[in-house]
Amino acid sequence: MDDKELLLKLSQSLLEILNDDEYYDVTIEVGNDSYIKIFRAHMVILHYRSTYLRRILSTNKRKNEGTLFHIKLQNILSEIFQIILSGRITLEEYDTSDIIKVLVAGSELGLQELITYFSYIQSFLIKTKANWMEQNFNLIYQ
């Protein structure tokens, strides 16, 4: 097995962990009063993917030893959080408004992988969605 195959297998295993409902140690309540969804997640993955969640987890670590963490994210839509939590964002698959919402939520959560690819995503939107961006300037400006 070469390095590329090993990394591919490791990546696949990590994606399976994201979908594991048995050994989670964090629940995340996402959405507002009209639609709330509970996600199950893994503290160690959240800790390394999000600077925002790392702060929350570190602050509450001393209080919740041995118990399940519960985090509320009321300003993020559940559909957008699902995209972020999956770790897979194929730009061609999503609405332009959803891509913008993912970028905003990713920025709020301090997701390093999205911040790293921000200029690529920005270029993609400018090249392929310029008309939409002009028509929805208010949303982008916000």
pLDDT in tens, 36-56: 999 888 888 888 888 999 998
How many domains is the chain partitioned into structurally?
1
CATH, residue 90: 3.30.710.10
Distance CA 121, CA 91 (A): 8
Q: Are residues 102 and 114 in contact, defined by beta-carbon separation less than 8 angstroms?
A: yes
Domain that holds residue 104: 3-139
What confidence tens digit (pLDDT) does each residue in 98-114 have?
888 888 898 899 987 77
Confidence of residue 73 (pLDDT cuts 50, 70, 90): very high
Task: List Cα–Cα distances, 44 to 23, 41, 53, 58, in angstroms.
Answer: 12, 9, 10, 11
Quote the pTM value.
0.74
